[in-house]
Amino acid sequence: MENTANSFLGEERIGRLMKKYALPCIVSLLVGALYNIVDQIFIANASYLGSYGNAANTVVFPLTVIALAVAVMIGDGACAFISINLGKNSPEKARKSVGNSVVIVIIGGLVLCAVYLIFSNQIISMFGGTVNEETYRLSREYFFYITIGIPFYMFGQALNPIIRADGSPKFAMASTLAGAVVNIILDPLFIFAFKWGMMGAAVATVLGQIVTAALAVRYIVHMKLVKPRAEDFKLSAEICRKTLALGITSFLSQISLVAAMAAINNMIRKYGALDNIFGQEQYAQIPMAVVGIVMKFFQIVISIVVGMAAGCIPIVGFNMGAEKRNRVKELFTKLLAAEAIVGAIALVIAEFFPHGLINIFGAANESAYYTDFAVRAFRVYLCMIIFACVNKACFIFLQAMGKALSSTLLSMIREIVFGVGFALILPKFFGLDGVLYSMPASDILTFLIAVCLIARTYRELGEARVVIRE
């Protein structure tokens, strides 16, 4: 049978499985995050771009997250669906999920690219690009070329978890790493040597994404465990529905993050204009540039956190399908502990070494106002990052168990109710600092809810049978 090669997921030690699957996933997500982060580092250190380019990067970043949201919904959903069906010894459904996912992500990438190009001006304005004239000009330039690469980016990101589910986490990591290496090599060449500015940063990124997508195509043709046939690429309403349902949490967690980013960017623009310093034209872009930098550091931490949890999806799915509840419970315990440790390390770095982080993003070329606001932003915005890490682990683990409803509700409460709500309300009382307070306030309240769901999950895993569909 096709699933016998995957039976070790139900037998090998949990700790060893976590290392095998989580580490490559962490590296893959970190490398994926490096695309935008590397762009911002080189942009920040180019004297002719500086904080204006940084602000433009911050404006465009949420738009790449929208593309990522669609891609991970397809990829993570397929990963969970494939793993559960291999555990149930239903390889034919796993094959159909792969074929359908490939078709959906291609269609989705082309549609999103077209929408971005048609409504580019409105979209850039929606995400705060009109903070001043230079930021708007650079945002448009960067946005256009990044949009051209959207179909390639989405394809590579969607296929990555599918490749992991097929038992090749190292290849998934290597394909993403190859694209990032291309980006890292070309960024300084295009930005500093050719002086292509924001266009150069974007083109370097897109070329890297094309490399990752090409490697994903190569793997699909030579899959190991789940070998899709020609008929599996014919869209099936049932397979699409079940696959996307399992991935909806990944989509909502990303897309709701975009809503929070939009709220934050617009509150920065609004209340920054009322600030004595940042209300001046030459400093207006600083708060947006700084918050973008803080988000990039947060993205690195969350890439590790999500990588640990998402890497465990095949393990959870297989053992849920095989009804090995004790193994799932053990995995949940070890995952929560590991995520809390990552959060604690990140907290120490953000609170005690913010100057070092800021210097990476070109603080030497900026005013003292830039540094002062950046230090405050790191220390306030990320002061509850331990809770944020545990919350993310809870979202993804519930999703891997097939509990899409609980996972989705928790994610939506965090990003929409708290994330957007606090970003809109707190600045009314605390001005620009209210934007910074919105993050820790959201994470504290979400953690209180997550604790209840974690306790309920432990109880269910101890019962005679766990319902894996809600």
Backbone angles phi, psi at 45, to 5 degrees: -90, 0
Query: What's the rounded mean pLDDT across residues 43-56?
Result: 88
Report the helix count and the strand count for the chain, using DSSP H and E: 18, 0
Instruction: Find out whether 346 and 389 touch, Cβ atoms under 8 Å.
Output: yes
Q: What is the pLDDT of residue 114?
A: 97
Q: What is the pLDDT of residue 401?
A: 80
Those residues with Cβ within 8 angstroms of residue 416's Cβ, 6 or more apart along the chain or in another chain: 256, 259, 260
Query: What's the rounded mean pLDDT across residues 128-135?
Result: 89
Percent of the chain with pLDDT over 70: 96
Residue 6 maps to a domain? no
Q: How is residue 186 written in tokens?
A: 């070309």
What's the rounded Cα separation, in Å, for the pair 71 and 306?
15
Q: What is the pLDDT of residue 173?
A: 84
Q: How is residue 21 written in tokens?
A: 């699957």
Q: What is the pLDDT of residue 2?
A: 44
Q: What is the pLDDT of residue 122?
A: 94
Query: How does residue 3 score in pLDDT terms, banded at 50, 70 and 90?
Result: very low
Q: Please tell me which residue, 363 or 438, carries the higher pLDDT value.
A: 438
Query: How does residue 5 score in pLDDT terms, banded at 50, 70 and 90?
Result: low
State which residues form the domain around 148. 13-461
The whole-chain average pLDDT of the chain stands at 88
Residue that the structure tokens 């393990």 belong to: 315
Residue 4 maps to a domain? no
Left, alpha or beta for 213 (phi > 0: left; psi -120 to 50: alpha)? alpha
Whether the predicted pLDDT of 153 surpasses 90: yes
According to DSSP, residue 287 is labeled: H
Q: What is the pLDDT of residues 71-89, one digit of tens each?
A: 989 998 998 898 888 878 8
Q: What is the pLDDT of residue 119?
A: 96
Q: What is the pLDDT of residue 16?
A: 86
Q: What is the pLDDT of residue 262?
A: 87
Those residues with Cβ within 8 angstroms of residue 321's Cβ, 6 or more apart along the chain or in another chain: 83, 84, 85, 86, 87, 88, 468
Whether the predicted pLDDT of 359 surpasses 80: yes
Whether the predicted pLDDT of 1 surpasses 60: no
What's the rounded Cα separation, in Å, for the pair 292 and 306?
20
Query: What's the rounded mean pLDDT across residues 50-66?
Result: 89
Query: How does residue 466 score in pLDDT terms, banded at 50, 70 and 90?
Result: very low
Residue 3 maps to a domain? no
Residue 130 maps to a domain? yes
Whether the predicted pLDDT of 329 surpasses 80: yes
Half-sphere exposure (CA, 13 Å, Cβ side) for 13?
A: 3
Percent of the chain with pLDDT over 90: 50
Residue 8 maps to a domain? no
Query: What's the rounded mean pLDDT across residues 267-290?
Result: 91
Q: What is the pLDDT of residue 457?
A: 87
Whether the predicted pLDDT of 253 surpasses 80: no
One-character DSSP codes across 30-53:
HHHHHHHHHHHHHHHT-TTTHHHH
Neighbours of 262 (CB within 10 A): 16
Q: What is the pLDDT of residue 469?
A: 44
Instruction: Find out whether 378 and 222 touch, Cβ atoms under 8 Å.
Output: no
Q: What is the pLDDT of residues 420-450, one digit of tens each?
A: 999 999 999 999 999 999 999 999 999 999 9
Q: Please tell me which residue, 30 or 446, carries the higher pLDDT value.
A: 446
Q: What is the pLDDT of residue 281?
A: 85
Whether the predicted pLDDT of 463 surpasses 70: no
Q: Please tell me which residue, 36 or 396, carries the higher pLDDT value.
A: 396
Instruction: Find out whether 209 and 186 touch, Cβ atoms under 8 Å.
Output: no
Q: What is the pLDDT of residue 245?
A: 87
Half-sphere exposure (CA, 13 Å, Cβ side) for 178?
A: 15
SS3 452: helix
- pTM for the whole structure: 0.77
Q: What is the pLDDT of residue 75?
A: 94
Residue 467 maps to a domain? no
Q: What is the pLDDT of residues 229-249, one digit of tens each?
A: 999 999 999 999 999 988 887
Q: What is the pLDDT of residue 83?
A: 82
Burial class (CB within 10 angstroms; exposed 0-12, middle 13-18, buried 19+) of 144? middle
In angstroms and rounded to an integer, the radius of gyration of the C-alpha atoms of the chain is 22
Residue 466 maps to a domain? no
Query: How does residue 468 score in pLDDT terms, banded at 50, 70 and 90?
Result: very low
Left, alpha or beta for 362 (phi > 0: left; psi -120 to 50: alpha)? left
Residue that the structure tokens 């993804």 belong to: 396
Total domains in the chain come to 1
Whether the predicted pLDDT of 467 surpasses 50: no
Left, alpha or beta for 214 (phi > 0: left; psi -120 to 50: alpha)? alpha
**Three-state SS sequence of 354-410:** HHHHHHHCCHHHCCHHHHHHHHHHHHHHCCCHHHHHHHHHHHHHHHHCCCHHHHHHH
Q: What is the pLDDT of residue 317?
A: 78
Letter for the amino acid at 153?
A: Y
End-to-end CA distance of the chain: 29
Query: How does residue 257 score in pLDDT terms, banded at 50, 70 and 90?
Result: confident
Q: What is the pLDDT of residue 399?
A: 74
Residue 104 maps to a domain? yes
Q: What is the pLDDT of residue 40?
A: 83
325-to-9, 77, 80, 286, 459 alpha-carbon distances in Å: 13, 21, 17, 51, 11
